[in-house]
Structure 1
Amino acid sequence: MKKLIPLSALLLSACSSVYQVQPDDPYYAPLIPEMPEEGNMVLTGSMFQDVTAQNLYSDIKARRVGDVITVNLVENTTANKGAKNELDKSSSVGLQTPVLMGSPFTINGNELNASIEGDNEFEGESKVRQNNSLFGAISVSVVQVLSNGHLVVRGEKWITINQGDEYIRLTGIIRPEDVTGDNNVDSTRVANARIQYSGTGSTHDTQTPGWLTGFFNSPIWPF
């Protein structure tokens, strides 16, 4: 039974690394607004209908489920971290010559004494610097309107280039006040934003370590 545990961990690690993201994920699919029921539409011979009409003074900004908003990706982050540690410790212990009958204790004429000294020094320094930037645009759909009027948006964008695909996925919450007149908003104004930018295919696979290498680099590898 004990031999099966490492094998099971190896298989789980392999499955997690072989899995690839696929397009047309239902979670990122846009919500189609429901069409008004025919019973609610009164045929008056006029083109105006209350169930589909908009306010005369309203704009074209997204505000309902199914509306589309273009998010401008303007992400640029920089992180710097440095640490320096120094440790210096010295210790010494001395054992004096014992006195026996009023005279120092000797062995073959040599006084018996001992001393121990030790020094311990440590110095370490580390620096980490990371820069990330992402620029572009993605159009997402409104999937929910909260009670305070904020819009929950979600969507994905796939681009096929040569032998591989690149995709961008975004979810978050947008204030209607931050949306411009042409339905644009910067990604820095998207609350609780989740932005994924990656790819699939041969180009992406060459940049990803194999599942066996991933297993040996994982925390479950005991050595």
Structure 2
Amino acid sequence: MRVALLATVALSLTACGQAARIDAPPQLSPVAESTELVAMQNPGLPLNLQTGLPAESASLWSSGRGSLLGTGRAETRGDIVTVVIEIDDKAEFSNSTNRSRSAGESLGVSDFFGIPQRIDRRLPEGSSLGNAVGVNSNSDYSGDGKTSRKERLTLRVAATVTEVLPNGSFAIEGRQELRLNYEIRELLVTGIVRPEDISRRNEVPYDRIAAARISYGGRGQIDRAQQPRFGQRVVDAVLPF
């Protein structure tokens, strides 16, 4: 009875939690807790203090970011760079293996001081030590495998420089969430970028990002409908068969 009571309470709490989300849309992640906002609030030292170069504020042809000759590219922690994701991959693998082996062994004793002849007289009719042992073996193996995959994704996302590494490269992170009715589309991009790979339009392609981690998915009513029920997942994890 105690076990049944505990199971009933657990199911009731689970049902209440599910019922609370029936009419409520999924919530967006709070921006105040994001890594990008922390990097923007603590941008670090200016470039002229990092490199020890004198400031160019007195020059008429300054190359600062706000001047006419400035590049406008990301240069320090807290800056924003646009990541261009254009993935169009297609891969096909086909493997075939065939193996065959055949072997035969024979052993007989025909003459050994006349002993085999004497033994043959006592053996059953048709038996002889002339062909005492015979072994034959045959082995065949065949394997066939094929893998086909095709992926296509085109996206653009603004990422923030979260850290300037000792070698001058930028650690970037970008998050984007879009809620449409009761479904949220999520995009996450992280990685390491070299400053010289950032174009004058302040864009960097995904194939120039080292240690790139790109995640694209969603959560909401459609995502929950595509997932198996909680009880089914528990049963699949517990049952050994």
Bin of the TM-score, shorter chain as denominator length: 0.5 to 0.7
Quick one: which of 12, 33, 39 aligns to 2:41? 33
Q: When the two structures are superposed, what TM-score results if normalisation uses the length of structure 1?
A: 0.67
Given that 1:97 and 1:111 are in contact with CA atoms closer than 8 Å, whether structure 2 keeps it comes out as: no
Map 1:1-223 onto structure 2 (within 5 A). 23-24=29-30, 26=33, 28-30=35-37, 31-34=39-42, 55=64, 56=67, 57-96=69-108, 100=115, 102=117, 105-106=120-121, 107-112=123-128, 113=132, 115-209=134-228
Q: Which runs of 5+ in 1 are unaligned?
A: 1-20, 37-48
Letter of the 2:135 counterpart: I
Given that 1:75 and 1:188 are in contact with CA atoms closer than 8 Å, whether structure 2 keeps it comes out as: no
Given that 2:175 and 2:188 are in contact with CA atoms closer than 8 Å, whether structure 1 keeps it comes out as: yes
Name the SS of the counterpart of 1:182 in structure 2: coil
Bigger Cα Rg: 2
Letter of the 2:101 counterpart: K
In structure 2, the CA distance between the partners of 1:22 and 1:91, relative to structure 1 (3 Å rule), is farther
Letter of the 1:164 counterpart: E
Name the SS of the counterpart of 1:111 in structure 2: coil
Relative contact order, higher structure (CA 8 A, sep 6+): 1
- Structure 2 equivalent of residue 45 of structure 1: none
Q: Give the number of the structure whose residues are more often helix, by fraction.
A: 2
Query: Offset at 1:23?
Result: 2.7
Matched residue pairs, number? 189
In 2: Cα distance, 1:88 partner to 1:22 partner: 61
Higher alpha-carbon deviation: 153-162 or 24-33? 24-33
Given that 1:95 and 1:114 are in contact with CA atoms closer than 8 Å, whether structure 2 keeps it comes out as: yes
RMSD between aligned residues:
3.7
Q: When the two structures are superposed, what TM-score results if normalisation uses the length of structure 2?
A: 0.63
Query: Offset at 1:138?
Result: 0.6
In 2: Cα distance, 1:64 partner to 1:130 partner: 39
In 1: Cα distance, 2:43 partner to 2:138 partner: 82
Q: Give the number of the structure whose residues are more often strand, by fraction.
A: 1
**Sequence identity percentage:** 21
Given that 1:71 and 1:185 are in contact with CA atoms closer than 8 Å, whether structure 2 keeps it comes out as: yes
Given that 2:40 and 2:79 are in contact with CA atoms closer than 8 Å, whether structure 1 keeps it comes out as: no
